Amino acid sequence: MPEYRDFVPRQGFQPTLALSPDAAMVAYSSNAAGGRFDLWVVPVAGGEPRQLTELANQAVRQAAWVPDGKSLVFTADREGDEQYRLYRIGLEDQEPTDISTGPDCQRILASSPFDAGGRYLTYAANDRDATVQDILVRDLTDDSERRFVPPPGVVFEPAGISPDGRWLLTAGFRSNMHVAAYLIDLRDTTAEPQCVTAAHGDGLFEPGPWMPDSSGFYLRTNLWGEFIAIARYRLDDGTLEPVSRHDWDVEGIEAAEDTLVWSVNVDGRSTLHTRQGDAVQPLPDIPPGVINALTLAPGADPIVLLLDTATRPTEIAVLDTTSGFRYLTDARPPALHVINPVEPQPVVYPASAGRSVHALLYRPHTPGPHPVLLSIHGGPEAQERPTYSRSGLYQHLLDRGIAIFAPNIAGSTGYGATHQKLIYRNWGGYDLDDLDHATRYLRSASDLDGDRIAVMGGSYGGFAALSCLARLPYPWAAGVSLCGPTNLVTLARSCPPTWKHFVSVVLGDPDTDADYLTQRSPITYADAITAPLFVLQGARDPRVPRAESDQLVARLRDRGVDVRYEVFEDEGHGFTNRKNELRAYEEIAQFLRGHLLTASS
């Protein structure tokens, strides 16, 4: 019988892809060598990948080609601290050059960071004020910079410079559902950022790529209903017109000259669409899964994507007119060559107030009744989708006879704005009620063992898992929390500086909302936790500080609760070191097998 490590992908990827200007090579970030995320390139036609960097204790997060195709820029942080520096490396260079100015801070490349000629590099940084994310435009000919400061309470993330070089387009975030588009006239040395979507409301107006003639840009918006559509904004008159509307969310838009490609999240699965000019073009089918990154050449030939499916881990894949769909990498682990992996079944279960919740149910191939892992995604504004989850942990547990139930509770993306906004300033409210109904659903299923249910989550999912253990009256077999918040007051006070306004909108203000945040915190109900618990935490986590886990573990151990605690000294929020990641999931697998497969039914 395969062990957990037999299910581990041969390599992992960061969600970034960059197609060279001649469409011959794709750059990406992989941990294939040494377990750290380095920068690689591989020919689009197929061939041997080439490693460009060998970074010590760093991880490449974003990458982009300089327009001449001779070098790349990338961002990297150290041991998960999310303090990104900027680097440049030529295809024949031995080492990258640090092109950052100033101290360590959060530097984020624009979606399209260069102007057409490659003279200007655009990125965001909070180097001036730790609580404010400015935009900087660097002139690479003399290293001078122009800085643009956002309005109070707005976080800037640049999209790109117009093809004619005049306009800089940026997103201004107040929350994930309140995003405006701003324009800056680069020809005016005194120009200030101007919000150009305010006349259309305060919803989602997230800017995307430019139109090829610089007359406007594409954006994602929920202006016309519950779901996110593509719109076109015209500079001459400020109008917005729909380009493509679906009964699901548009999740990504890319453009190259007159070609537009977008993906739609259909109940968790990505579907691709394209048009050239006003003509819709057919595309080859792709395996059912999730597109995590996308880049294309003019004419959509080729399209390169990062595709993750439930039965095959994340891979780089290519769509072109010659061969249709093909994989460019092969990260499949040994187990997938000898077992039949499980595809999830989409289900819908009833919740309170006439609502319903979409979920994925993974059933083992063996006869039931099966013990169940209730797995809760992070975010909370995220979505459980059919992917090769947690470095093969799902498929390993399924192979051992453990079912997995992964719901998209209140706050999840993908099921409309109303469902997503239910989590705002209501953590541990509708979401926990949805998890209560999820547990009732599992306990009523004839092929599942309702007396053997464990719960697991990471980040927000860790908070939700701990809330289940502390506040729902079920005989939980076990729980797992990966960097999960335990005290919402201290979480809000210690969030990254640029997140202050965002946290106030989505979670609550730690000063004015302290009573409510305390009432919803798992630490408040720690004395009700009796199930065996496994807590994992990064010591350098800038989002959920180690103290969040320390305080809960101490409380539980004082009461004699069975708590296992693993702190990873060289990790932040999640894993960037492959050795750490595999040890963590191997130990989680052992912990869950021990409590789910040996518990009496």
pLDDT of residue 531 exceeding 50: yes
pLDDT of residue 253 exceeding 70: yes
For range 477-482, the mean pLDDT: 96
Question: pLDDT band at residue 448, thresholds of 50, 70 and 90?
Answer: very high
Share of the chain above pLDDT 70, in %: 100
Smallest Cα–Cα separation from 81: which of 567, 547, 545?
A: 545
| End position of a domain, from candidates 45, 67, 100 | 100
Give the number of other CB atoms < 10 A from CB of residue 153. 15
Give, in degrees to the nearest 5, the angle at Cα 293 between 290 and 297: 120
Question: pLDDT band at residue 484, thresholds of 50, 70 and 90?
Answer: very high
| End position of a domain, from candidates 64, 84, 100 | 100
Residue 93 lies in a domain: yes
Residue 515, burial from CB neighbour count under 10 angstroms (0-12, 13-18, 19+): exposed
What secondary structure, in 3-state letters, does 69-86 show? CCEEEEEEEECCCCCCEE
State how far the Cα of 146 lies from the Cα of 130, in Å rounded to an integer: 18
pLDDT at 322: 81
Residue 151 lies in a domain: no
| End position of a domain, from candidates 100, 119, 142 | 100
Residue 493, burial from CB neighbour count under 10 angstroms (0-12, 13-18, 19+): middle
pLDDT of residue 81 exceeding 90: no
pLDDT at 172: 94
Contact indicator for 185, 170 with CB cutoff of 8 Å:
no
Measured distance between the N- and C-terminal CA atoms of the chain, rounded to whole angstroms = 23
Q: For 420-435, how does the pLDDT look when each residue is reduced to its tens digit (9 = 90+)?
A: 999 999 999 999 999 9
Residue 394 belongs to domain with CATH number: 3.40.50.1820
pLDDT of residue 345 exceeding 80: yes
Residue 220 lies in a domain: no
Residue 209 lies in a domain: no
State how far the Cα of 517 lies from the Cα of 524, in Å rounded to an integer: 10
Contact indicator for 50, 4 with CB cutoff of 8 Å:
no
For range 537-557, the mean pLDDT: 90
Question: pLDDT band at residue 1, thresholds of 50, 70 and 90?
Answer: confident
Q: For 348-383, give one letter per residue: b (16+ CB within 10 A) or e.
A: ebebeeeeebbbbbbbbeeeeebbbbbbbbbbbbbb
Give the number of other CB atoms < 10 A from CB of residue 111. 20
Smallest Cα–Cα separation from 5: which of 596, 588, 454?
A: 588
State how far the Cα of 366 lies from the Cα of 402, in Å rounded to an integer: 10
Smallest Cα–Cα separation from 180: which of 208, 209, 203, 152?
A: 203
Ranges assigned E (strand) in 377-485? 403-407, 448-458, 478-482
Q: For 163-195, how does the pLDDT look when each residue is reduced to its tens digit (9 = 90+)?
A: 999 999 999 998 888 999 999 999 999 999 999
State how far the Cα of 468 lies from the Cα of 432, in Å rounded to an integer: 7
pLDDT of residue 248 exceeding 70: yes
For range 498-503, the mean pLDDT: 80
Two tokens, residue 275: 């048009």
pLDDT at 600: 42
Q: Which of 84-93, 99-108, 182-191, 579-588 has the lowest mean pLDDT?
A: 99-108
pLDDT at 80: 81
Based on the structure, what is the number of domains in the chain? 2
For range 326-346, the mean pLDDT: 95
Write out the residue range of the structural domain in which residue 24 sits. Answer: 1-100
pLDDT of residue 212 exceeding 90: yes
Instruction: Say what the pTM is.
Output: 0.90
Residue 404 lies in a domain: yes
Mean pLDDT of the chain: 93
- Which residues on neighbouring strands pair with residue 179, listed in sequence order? 173, 204
Q: Is residue 548 within a helix (H) or strand (E), and if so which, with residue range?
A: helix 546-558
Residue 336 lies in a domain: no
Q: For 258-279, how does the pLDDT look when each residue is reduced to its tens digit (9 = 90+)?
A: 899 999 999 999 999 999 888 8
pLDDT of residue 374 exceeding 70: yes
Residue 363 lies in a domain: yes
pLDDT at 228: 95
Residue 448 lies in a domain: yes
Question: pLDDT band at residue 515, thresholds of 50, 70 and 90?
Answer: very high
Smallest Cα–Cα separation from 25: which of 328, 414, 462, 322?
A: 328
For range 442-457, the mean pLDDT: 95
Q: For 279-321, how does the pLDDT look when each residue is reduced to its tens digit (9 = 90+)?
A: 888 888 899 999 999 999 988 789 999 999 999 999 999 998 7
pLDDT at 368: 85
Residue 92 belongs to domain with CATH number: 2.120.10.30
Q: Could you tell me the CA-to-CA distances from 309 to 48, 269, 292, 312, 333 in Å, in that order? A: 24, 9, 11, 5, 14
For range 520-537, the mean pLDDT: 96
For range 347-364, the mean pLDDT: 96
State how far the Cα of 291 lies from the Cα of 294, in Å rounded to an integer: 7
pLDDT at 498: 80
